[in-house]
Amino acid sequence: MCGIVGYTGHQKAVDVLLDALSSLEYRGYDSSGISIFEGTKIDTIKSLGRLDQLRERIDSQKKVFSGTCGIGHTRWATHGEPSDVNAHPHTTKKLSLVHNGIIENYVQIRQKLQADGYKFVSRTDTETAAHLLDRLYTGDPMGAIRQLCSFLEGSYAFAVLFWDHPGEVYGVCKGCPLIAAKGKEENFLVSDIPAILPYTRDYVLLEEGDLVKITADSILIQDSEGKEKIPNVQQAQWNMEQAQKGGYPHFMLKEIYEQPKALRDTIHPRIVDGLPDFAIEDSIPDGFWRQFDRISIVACGTAWHAGMLGKGLIERLARIPVECEIASEFRYRSPLLDRRTLVILISQSGETADTLAALRLARESGSTTLAVVNVTGSTIAREADYVIHTFAGPEIAVASTKAFSVQLAVMYLIAIKLALAGGRCQPDEARSLIHNLLEAIEATLKVFDLDSAIQKYAQSYVELKDLFFLGRGLDYSLAMEGSLKLKEISYIHCEAYAAGELKHGTISLITPGTPVIALATQDALLSKTLSNVREVISRGAEILLLCKDTFTPESELAGKCILLPALDDLFMPFVGVIALQLLAYHTAVFRDCDVDKPRNLAKSVTVE
């Protein structure tokens, strides 16, 4: 995820900015850059790659930065591939600007600015904000920033230098953190606490919509109406490691809690007039979604489970046949592919060897390939014919959580888009599905209220050796994800079964005390799943049921249910998966496992 640092004071800004940016490296980034006031000029340098590459470029260009005020940025690409030109800061004749977040309506703003003669050099949403601010600026930085915000939709934190205001750093935030920190004859503007810890512990957390101006000896904060606020100075208590995890004990838990934001960032920019719109993927042509009579979804691990759910959604809504296959199987079975087949590759990292091989095979076979990828500029993103980026930000924990949710959300958009294109649903029905999707995204927040209840169930799993997950339909795919999550981080052996299949063999393993987690979130299948639950209870299973909070449990299930916020059946996976992730996480913590780096596993599997 991108990192922002702004500095003004008595030290050489280049040293402070590079040092502070390096303490944000853990967040993941693919390029970096700085802008520094040198006298009345602003000098900018940027580089693709690690901070060391930026340092080397500064040396090789024999740049001497002696200024004491500047801004810096580490970029984790979302709009536009990682490159020198897409790196921040973005500069104009009047200003230099860095940005965290996503500007959802940048396509429309960019088109208007281009029509008025503005020239764009990058593919980023950020450059749009830089040009728009340049246009609005007439000498009053705070006024221009306030106006800028009135045009922008989405989430953002900006740090800005104006050419005619040396020694001053300006900022604003909405939906992304921004922190002003108070040093001795120096002040800071950063996106994350770790960046300031070597210098000061006194900071002010800006509130939604706040604007800020820092000079070497002052911090001025205004609300969105322009009213001055008294800074509420707090003291950072965390050490560097705690600060990097945002106060969470593990990256996995932090990433579980980041899901509502990741979902909004991924979905909101792709809804226009209440309908799915892939305009930000400007390479996907209009007629694209009408071309295919078969779809193959290919992925590994958790991404494959998102694909399984995607298959269910596309078949149900668009009535197009879909296969969903594990990449390592797909690539060696001579799959039937032709140009009427759309092959969708799903991958968080965009580097998974088997998924990449499947992509190459699909292309060689004449199929069209569409990648759903989280890491911009990754090999899969580069080689696929078309790409839809998920905007989860970097996922650091090996266990995939937020990446799954955003992959799933994109599958809903694809399913609805295909249904519309194929005449399987009318715009009004599509709008109502999108409404449900947005409602589901907000409902994910409510699952966190269940965290302590889930923790108690997890505590009872500490000594377990084996466990079964059951589910039907979408719940079966979700059961597979719940099972994978639990086994990979807690090392408990788990199996996921289609609830109706158990009696064809596996039920022989159910003996008194066998733990079974049953997913029954689908009203349409509830009575069937409950029959299977009764079958295992009558053989002595210890059941835990995940169901809607509208369900009234019968006496034998009382006290054995996790009641999830009720949504339309189709959207229950969004809330169900978070409960399963929390269950896996707490179980692993109680078992004293290395949650973020489970044994034998790598975050990105680049070998067969």
CB of 356 to ligand M6R, least distance (A): 9
Q: How many other CB atoms are there within 10 angstroms of residue 161's CB atom?
A: 28
Give the residue with the Cβ less far from ligand M6R, 33 or 350.
Answer: 350
Q: Is 159 within 8 Å of 211 (Cβ atoms)?
A: no
* Of 355 and 369, CB closest to ligand M6R: 355
CA distance 120 to 122: 6
**Smallest gap from residue 602 Cβ to ligand M6R (A):** 8
> Does residue 350 come out as left (phi exceeding 0), alpha (psi in the -120 to 50 range) or beta?
left
Which of 325, 332, 333 lies closest to 295, judged by CA? 325
Choice between 70 and 393, CB closer to ligand M6R: 393
- We find the least distance from the C-beta atom of residue 369 to ligand M6R, in angstroms, to be 15
CB closer to ligand M6R, 173 vs 358: 358
Say which residue the tokens 């991958």 belong to.
Answer: 347
Q: What is the 3-state secondary structure (H, E, C) of 411-439?
A: HHHHHHHHHHHCCCCCHHHHHHHHHHHHH
Least CB distance to ligand M6R at residue 440 (A):
21
Sign of the Cα pseudo-torsion (587, 591, 596, 599, in order): negative
Name which of 122 and 352 has its Cβ closer to ligand M6R.
Answer: 352
User: Is the Cβ of residue 369 or residue 400 nearer to ligand M6R in the bound state?
Assistant: 400
Query: Least distance in Å: CB of 230 to ligand M6R?
Result: 45
Q: Taking the complex as a whole, how short is the minimal distance between the CB of residue 192 and ligand M6R, in angstroms? A: 24
* CB burial of residue 449 (10 Å; 0-12, 13-18, 19+): exposed
For the sheet with 234-235, list strands across it.
41-48, 31-38, 69-75, 3-8, 187-190, 179-182, 202-205, 234-235
Q: Which of 2, 300, 324, 561 is catalytic?
A: 2
Nearer to ligand M6R, 43 or 481 (CB): 481
Pairing status of strand 218-222 against strand 211-215: antiparallel
Residue 86 or 355 having the CB closest to ligand M6R? 355
For 390, other C-beta atoms within 10 Å of its C-beta total 29
CA 266 to chain centroid = 7
Q: How far is the CB of 387 from ligand M6R (least distance, A)?
A: 14
Return the number of the residue (16 or 580) whose C-beta is nearest ligand M6R: 580
Give the shortest CB-405-to-ligand M6R separation in angstroms: 12
Q: Are 519 and 569 in contact (CB under 8 A)?
A: no
Minimum CB distance to ligand M6R smaller for 233 or for 601: 601
Give the Cα separation of 76 and 244 in Å (integer). Answer: 16
Cross-strand pairs, 296: 323, 343
Which of 385, 4, 450 shows the shortest CA–CA distance to 188?
A: 4
Considering the complex, what minimum distance in angstroms separates the CB of residue 172 from ligand M6R?
A: 34
Helix axes 402-421, 259-267, angle to 10 degrees: 30
Burial class (CB in 10 A: 0-12, 13-18, 19+), 242: middle
How far is Cα 289 from Cα 101, in angstroms, rounded to an integer? 29
Could you please report the per-residue DSSP string of 45-82? Answer: EEEES-HHHHHHHHHHTT-----SEEEEEEE--SSS-S
Residue 560 designated active-site: no
Query: Please, where are the H alpha helices in 187-345?
Result: 240-244, 251-257, 259-267, 301-318, 327-330
Write out the residues near ligand M6R by the rule CB under 6 A.
300-303, 347-349, 352, 355, 398-400, 488, 601, 604-605
Among 63, 560, 597, 603, the active-site one is: 603
**Other beta carbons less than 10 A from residue 403's beta carbon:** 27
Closest of 387, 324, 328, 314 to residue 361, by C-alpha: 328
Return the residue nearest ligand M6R (CB atom): 301
Taking the complex as a whole, how short is the minimal distance between the CB of residue 357 and ligand M6R, in angstroms? Answer: 12
436 CB-near residues (< 8 Å, 6+ apart): 567, 568, 570, 571
Instruction: Provide CB contacts within 8 A for 279, sequence distance 6+.
Output: 107, 272
Q: Tell the smallest beta-carbon distance from residue 101 to ligand M6R (Å).
A: 23
Closer residue to ligand M6R, CB minimum distance, 85 or 605: 605
φ and ψ at 555, to 5 degrees? -55, -40
**How many whole angstroms separate alpha carbon 597 and alpha carbon 592?**
12
Residue 213 bears catalytic tag: no
Annotated active-site positions, please?
2, 603
